[in-house]
Amino acid sequence: MVVLMTRLEAPFTEAKVRALKVGDMVEVTGLIYTGRDTVHKWLSEGNAPPVDLNNGIIYHCGPVVMKQKGEWVVTAAGPTTSMREEPYQAGIIEKFHLRAVIGKGGMGEKTR
């Protein structure tokens, strides 16, 4: 069986994302920004992000940070539960024209 892979390179246009179908294999290249509860709340309160989120992807990430040789180092960055962002995510998607969200466990009715 041959598996076709669609390559998406940031920034992501609405047309590129809408051309995808459920089950498509996708390789994402370019910048992907991470954010958890605090940053979603902060952005929903009207604060400006320090990066350009427009047409981008946000990754609901739960980093593991350890102190090594006196410096903090990210040693792992796995997905965190996306439902935590439900109170904020729909507004952030709309405001910043996010094209995708990566996380764990899906989102609720407010975000769909």
Which residues are catalytically annotated? 40
Residue ranges of E strands in the chain: 5-9, 25-29, 33-34, 57-59, 61-68, 71-79, 100-102
Phi, then psi, of 27 in degrees rounded to 5 = -105, 125
Contact predicate 79/60, CB 8 Å: yes
Contact predicate 91/44, CB 8 Å: yes
Say whether 24 sits in a helix, a strand or coil: coil
